[in-house]
Amino acid sequence: MKKVWMILMLAVLSLGVLAACGNDNDTNEAENNSNENVSGNNDEAMELDGELVVYSARNETFVQDLLDKFSDETGIDVRALHEADPLQVQEEAGNVQADVFISNDLGALEYLNRQELLEGFEPANVESIDEQFRAENNEWIAISARARGFIYNKDLISEDEMPTSMEDLFDAQWADVENGYAITRGGNGGMIGNISALRYEWGDEKTADWISAIQDNAAGIFEGHGDIRRAVGAGEHAFGLVNNYYYHQQLEEPTDNNVGFIYADQGEDEMGAIANAAGLGLVANAPNDANARAFIEWVLEEENQLAFVGESLEVPINPELDPPFEEAVPFSELKVQDMPLKELGNYFEDTRQLIEESGLDLELR
């Protein structure tokens, strides 16, 4: 009997050891599967949930479709503040509300970066964007580019009669053209970038004189460039100072589309067109950090780089992507101002002050 009990006890112990080994194997397999899910090495992507808060300095028309696409594909609830002032991110530094900041001015993004309000990381496919269009540690990444120039109404003024450079606007003769010309108020992001680029090129004194000249001579001062391109298309003004993509937008209008465009400063001895770009950055200490990183990686997928361009009709910075419209002039064919776009961040704060002192930021007419 003793031998029988010993045999039974050994059998039970053996079964226990085998079960324990089986559990260890199951646990290890589960851990491995979990690790694969986190690292993205399996076929199934990580599930995302919760929300994403996006502050965007851009027009809602250019951004909302992109945000809706992300929400539809990921299930993340996106809350957006459109036409946000970049300084709001700075004001909320002690109580961060935004996860991602989208801007149509690299000067604003680099300014926030220099205030240590953005955070860098290495998102997938970031190498598709040339280093000159990224912050040093990818705190911000530019996706689409534009250049400054003049949209004009072909029924009011011919191409030969148009100004061709920023310096031309010093001349009071442009106040006398039929229906005059239009600019945006100084607080507009595109105008801030324009004036910062002139400060880099000319210095502050000459730039301040230029602001005074356009303030005195412009027949219309508008809130945004969309207002200018519609006014020029309708013949309310002969021409206007805008980013090139507003010209492409006006061409797509069913009426009031007899317009042309001149890229500024393309002459041999001229500085080249003032360029800028739209991009996005991860806000430091973002409340929804994981979703913010996922969004930036999602935007960097080529399909979504084009979706970022979207309704704006800007030109993709990624040289492998064709512009989504026929009339676009690739940046490689333009003479562009010889200024690293990161430099705009050095001028951003003082440019706003210069504009405010001139009164151009407040005036509309």
Q: Which domains does the chain have, with CATH numbers?
A: 51-145+276-330 (3.40.190.10), 147-275+346-358 (3.40.190.10)
Q: In the chain, what's the furthest Cα-to-Cα distance?
A: 120
Q: How confident is the model at residue 46 (pLDDT cuts 50, 70, 90)?
A: low
The β-bridge partners of 83 are none
- Determine the average pLDDT of the residues in 278-293: 97
pLDDT for res 27: 40
Q: How confident is the model at residue 116 (pLDDT cuts 50, 70, 90)?
A: very high
pLDDT for res 226: 93
pLDDT for res 258: 98
Q: How confident is the model at residue 297 (pLDDT cuts 50, 70, 90)?
A: very high
pLDDT for res 313: 80
- Determine the average pLDDT of the residues in 206-225: 96
Task: Give how far Cα 206 sits from Cα of 200, 209, 297, Å.
Answer: 11, 5, 42
Of 141, 111, 110, 103, which is closest to residue 293 (Cα–Cα)?
141
Rounded Cα distance between 166 and 179, Å, is 20
**If you search the block for the tokens 């929804």, which residue do you land on?**
288
- Determine the average pLDDT of the residues in 114-126: 97
Does residue 36 register a pLDDT over 50? no
pLDDT for res 322: 81
Rounded Cα distance between 218 and 213, Å, is 8
| Strand positions, DSSP E, 231-300 | 239-243, 259-263, 275-282
Q: Are 147 and 263 in contact (CB under 8 A)?
A: yes
Rounded Cα distance between 250 and 273, Å, is 20
Does residue 5 register a pLDDT over 90? no
pLDDT for res 333: 82
Lowest mean pLDDT, pick from 45-54, 188-197, 348-357? 45-54
Strands 220-222 and 259-263, bridge-based pairing:
unpaired
- Determine the average pLDDT of the residues in 251-266: 96
Cα 188 from chain centroid (whole Å)? 15
Q: How confident is the model at residue 82 (pLDDT cuts 50, 70, 90)?
A: very high
Lowest mean pLDDT, pick from 43-57, 208-222, 346-360? 43-57
pLDDT for res 341: 87
Give the per-residue SS3 of 221-247: EECCHHHHHHHHHCCCCCEEEEEHHHH
Does residue 26 register a pLDDT over 70? no
- Determine the average pLDDT of the residues in 196-210: 96
Task: Give how far Cα 32 sits from Cα of 41, 42, 88, Å.
Answer: 11, 11, 43
pLDDT for res 362: 81
- Determine the average pLDDT of the residues in 294-302: 97
The β-bridge partners of 273 are 336
Of 56, 82, 111, which is closest to residue 352 (Cα–Cα)?
111
Q: How confident is the model at residue 12 (pLDDT cuts 50, 70, 90)?
A: very low
Using only the alpha carbons of the chain, give its radius of gyration: 27
Task: Give how far Cα 161 sits from Cα of 25, 177, 297, Å.
Answer: 81, 10, 47
Q: Is the dihedral of CA 265, 135, 48, 81 positive or negative?
A: negative
pLDDT for res 325: 66
Give the phi and the psi of residue 322 in degrees, each rounded to 5. Answer: -80, 140
Lowest mean pLDDT, pick from 62-76, 236-250, 292-306, 321-335? 321-335
Rounded Cα distance between 190 and 197, Å, is 11
Three-state SS at 99: coil
